[in-house]
Amino acid sequence: MSLTRRQFSARAAMTAAIVPSAGDASAQQASGNGPPGATRPAAAEHDMSAMPAHWMGSEQIAFLIYPQFTALDMVGPHHMLASLMGSTVHLAAATREPVRSDNGLVFVPSATFEECPRDLDILCVPGGSLGTLAAMQDEATIRFLKDRGSRARYVTSVCTGSLVLGAAGLLDGYRATSHWATRSLLPIFGATPVDARVVEDRNRITGGGVTAGIDFGLTLVGRLRDRPYAEAVQLLAEYDPQPPYAAGTPGQAPGEVKALIDGMFASFIEQAGDVGRTTFAKLGR
């Protein structure tokens, strides 16, 4: 089977996590301690026979991207989920035209809504602010999410992407989370808000604000493979967050800092609430 560079690197890393690196005959020969005249294996070789069969999958994964979405909402979990050996990741958008994120990063879609596989293992929606409001009201976007989400193995979101899922009627009756500033809006869509970084309810998995997408992605890697695989992905990414400030949650942040963010979000929350009630009403809920 032909492997891309990314898949080969991932396979080597995954195999290294469980294949003994010392003490066997090959390791002794490579170190010069084997029988005289023994052939040393190439340093980069790994014994792939020890890799569990379930570490190779065939998942079809699609991230919705839309103008002014928050890039890290998508890039964080994308890094983790793209480490699933055998998976195919699609960046789905209304057209193939480049999509600019809210901070100016430009992404090229790999599939239009029509080209995206109909049966997905993972459908993921990133969040944003003004772009998210527009996505919640875009008929083509909502139609795409309702269709793919009706069959996807996992329907997921990061940050305010949960509001877009909600507008498509995909969180009705589910426990979910969102960015802390917008979590209180989830009941509008029939969802039960949960104060957690990652929330799982049956096949709905939602992540909190922005960086929580990394935790969400790693959590799903563990579900689809196993703990050693996920731990190897975490180690490969050197994911060991040690932020320079203790202000990452409303409970930790100084009062004046939280007040500043509350003020910044006030208009968005009001608009998102209005849009949510209108779009959810259209679904007959």
Catalytic residues: 159
| Matching residue, tokens 């003004």 | 130
Q: Map residue 247 onto helix, strand or coil.
A: coil
Q: Taking the mean position of all CA atoms in its chain, how far away is CA 197?
A: 13
Taking CA atoms, 122 is separated from 64, 68, 147, in Å, by: 11, 22, 13
| CB-count burial class (<10 Å; 0-12, 13-18, 19+) for 54 | exposed
Q: Packing angle between helix 227-236 and helix 212-224, nearest 10 degrees?
A: 140
Rounded to whole angstroms, the Cα distance separating 120 from 148 reads: 7
User: 10 Å Cβ neighbour count for 75?
Assistant: 17
Long-range contact set of residues 223-226: C-beta below 8 Å, sequence gap at least 24: 224/57, 224/59, 224/84, 224/121, 225/54, 225/55, 225/57, 225/84, 226/52, 226/54, 226/55
Rounded to whole angstroms, the Cα distance separating 127 from 101 reads: 10
| Matching residue, tokens 């980069």 | 44
DSSP string, 77-117: HHHHHTTSTT-EEEEEESSSS-EE-TTS-EE--SEETTTS-
